[in-house]
Amino acid sequence: MLELTVNGVVRTADVEPEMPLLWVLRDHLGLTGAKYGCGISICGACTVLVDGEPVRSCGIPASAASGKKIVTIEGLSAQGLHRVQTAWIEHEVPQCGYCQTGMIMSAVALLAKHPKPTDGQIDDAMSNLCRCGTYARVRKAIHGLAGAPIATAAAAAPGGADAPPAPAAGTA
Ligand code: FES
Ligand code: FES
């Protein structure tokens, strides 16, 4: 029995420890936000955060994440959408959407580390593949978030750093 802390909750799964984390998340814990793309740690569709770092969950055994804090897209925000998800909508980033979970998780990790990333830092961090070619919109959305505090875990309180800014007076 494997014990994993996912989105702030301790979960158990009756799996072999070498089963890839992606399979455990999707097939045993019902968290299907992370997607299967290549299965060989290249495309990034399966990206989740492990102790705040973006990890391609198809490429690591689930046991390697045991004892660490795993965050999937389902757990990004304690209430409503995460700030990065809101920016993605505003900039109309997703096209077919298949790769976008991984894109968003990578962007969350990038912005937590570099609140005002340069184009070079974006290029280094956003190695996710997108068949729809959303790269320019991804970059625009990330630049639009520059300087905003970014939470990387569901533990953030409602209205906390992961929540979109409150509307200006008179606009609600
Ligand atoms: S499915 Fe994991 S990197 Fe492509
Ligand atoms: S939005 Fe379609 S693959 Fe990226």
Residue type at 125 in one-letter notation: A
Residue 18 pLDDT grade (very low, low, confident, very high; cuts 50, 70, 90) = very high
Q: What is the CA radius of gyration of the chain?
A: 16
Looking at the CA of residue 96, tell me the nearest atom of ligand 2: 2
* pTM of the complete model: 0.89
Is the beta carbon of 39 within 6 A of some atom in ligand 1?
yes
Output the six-digit token pair for 50. 């492990």
Q: Is 102 left (phi over 0), alpha (psi -120 to 50) or beta?
A: alpha
Dump pLDDT digits (tens) for 85-100. 999 999 999 999 999 9
- The residue whose two tokens read 């290549």 is 38
Token digits of residue 155:
């533990």
DSSP helix/strand/coil, 98: coil
Instruction: Report the separation in Å between the CA atom of 49 and the middle of ligand 2, taken as the mean of its atom positions.
Output: 20
What six digits make up the tokens of 78?
């304690």
